[in-house]
Amino acid sequence: MDESNSPRIIGVNAGNVDRTGFFCYMSKPKSEGFQRKLAWLKARFAEGMHIKMLELPLRGFIEYIPGEYAWRAVNAPGYMVIHCLWVVGKSKSKGYAGLLIEECLRDAERAGMRGVAMVTSERIWLAGKKILLKHGFESVGEAPPFNLMIKKFDSGALPSFPEDWGQRARHFGSGLTVVRSDQCPYIPDATELVLETARQHQIPARVFELKSSQEIRDLSPSPYGVFAIVLDSRLLAYHYLMPKDLQELLKERG
């Protein structure tokens, strides 16, 4: 991309987040999801959280944090972990996602980190691995439908996924459990949809709050970490489900 035509990238931090927002839900600043994410972010900046946004009218952002504080179920000490990479609308397919990835790589190198890691999926709520492959990332782990992609700066132990996903799901027992956190502002709406559908099917339901990155790494039943729907000790989904899709899955319960 011609540097003269490169977009301005805004760095979001504790000093300006109230003014800039954080890309998602910026049209709904009074919503529960926005306010919970805002409070969550303010606690994360001291841990090394970065958010970089394309200046409007372009639309896209990247969010990343050192692996010791990552809200993904990965073991990645010494690595920068990308939580989210999202470029939407007319801003897609113009190289902007690559610019945001390069911002992360530069920050990780400046911080003396060993590399950058990201959990990807070809489904929804996460970026696919294709864009990362273009920037020199490689896959070092799979937990279908997830891939653990890394770009390493030096040798040494590689990031990894846990291997006890079944045990983690069984931890939540019978009935329906929404495992959630405040990392994504869409989670409150997704949670309420699940609970309302469970009520309609007279299925006992509860919410389990993940309140720290350590709990994500220890307890999350999927690599995505910050949201999951678990039914009778089985992971149903890691992402938002439309009512008809959730109803079909619940019918299988009998």
Residue 138 located in a structural domain? yes
Report the alpha-carbon distance of residue 141 to residue 124 in Å, rounded. 19
- Write the pLDDT tens digit of every residue in 96-118: 999 999 999 999 999 999 999 99
- Answer yes or no: do 102 and 128 share one domain: yes
Domain boundary among 94, 120, 152: 152
DSSP 37-98: HHHHHHHHGGGT-EEEEEPTTS-EEEEEEEGGG-SSS-B-TTEEEEEEEEE-GGGTTSSHHH
- The candidate with the shortest Cα–Cα distance to 185, out of 18, 70, 59, 32, is 32
CA–CA gap between residue 177 and residue 235 (Å, rounded) = 10
- In the predicted model, is pLDDT for residue 1 greater than 80? no
State pLDDT tens for residues 38-67: 999 999 999 999 999 999 999 999 999 999
**Rounded average pLDDT over 83-104:** 94
Q: How confident is the model at residue 3 (pLDDT cuts 50, 70, 90)?
A: low
Is 157 a member of any domain? Answer: no
Q: Tell me, what's the pLDDT at 44?
A: 98
DSSP state of 224: T
The answer to whether 58 and 7 have CB atoms below 8 angstroms apart is yes
* Whole-prediction pTM: 0.94
Which structural domain, as residue segments, surrounds residue 13?
A: 3-152
Indicate the number of domains in the chain.
Answer: 2
Distance CA(139)–CA(134), nearest Å, equals: 12
Spatial distance between the Cα atoms of 177 and 204, rounded to a whole number of angstroms: 9
Residues 151-168: pLDDT tens digits? 999 988 999 999 999 999
Whether residue 194 is contained in a domain is answered as: yes
Radius of gyration of the chain (CA): 18
The CATH number covering residue 72 comes to 3.40.630.30
Q: Is residue 160 in some structural domain? A: no
Shared domain check, 126 and 18: yes
What's the chain's average pLDDT?
93
Q: Does 237 lie in the same domain as 147?
A: no
Assess whether 79 and 186 both reside in one domain: no
Tell me the residue ranges of DSSP E strands in the chain.
9-12, 50-54, 60-66, 79-87, 115-121, 138-143, 146-152, 176-180, 205-209, 227-231, 234-237
Q: What is d(CA 82, CA 117) in angstroms, rounded to the nearest whole number? A: 6
